[in-house]
Amino acid sequence: MFQKKPLQAIAVALFSIMVMSGNAYAQDAQRGEVLFKKRCKGCHRLTDAMKTGPGLLGVTKIRDDEWLNKWLKNPKEMIRSGDPVAVALKAKYKKTMRTLKAMQDEGARSDIIAFLKKNDAENGK
């Protein structure tokens, strides 16, 4: 029993170091990049340029994680609920992002958001 406490303390310390150094963030962003290329790249660019959907550069600076998480999970439901940003996006782009099966997983949404944050940070947004 005595030995478990030091091991727990070491594990907590290592996790804290990883988070503060960005390693945990980078791992999520790496998975997010793979998901983005597989599921999002067909419609979105990582710049300001429009493709089928809007460019996503700077999106994490104008939308908080909670909003992005809800949008990725079910954009149509956000519009139906009357979310003002979602309704404005529908009006502006005249179409709605599809509800993607891959985005029903909370971890996948978190990874995509981490990747978008990393992209924004690397591009000064």
Domain ranges of the chain: 26-122
Q: How far apart are the C-alpha atoms of 58 and 66, rounded to whole Å?
A: 16
The residue-averaged pLDDT of 14-41 equals 73
Torsion, Cα 36 86 114 125, to 10 degrees, reads 100
Provide CB contacts within 8 A for 16, sequence distance 6+. Answer: none
**Structure-token pair, residue 26:** 């980078």
**For domain 26-122, which architecture applies?**
Orthogonal Bundle (1.10)
Q: Is the pLDDT of residue 13 over 80?
A: no
The closest of 34, 57, 62, 35 to 45, measured between CA atoms, is: 57
pLDDT at 61: 96
Segment 48-75 shows an average pLDDT of 96
Determine if the pTM surpasses 0.85. no
User: pLDDT band for position 11 (50/70/90)?
Assistant: low
The CA distances from residue 66 to 5, 48, 72, 105, 120, in Å, are: 35, 22, 10, 15, 17
Residues 17 and 23: their CA atoms lie apart, in Å, by: 8
Q: Tell me what pLDDT residue 10 has.
A: 60
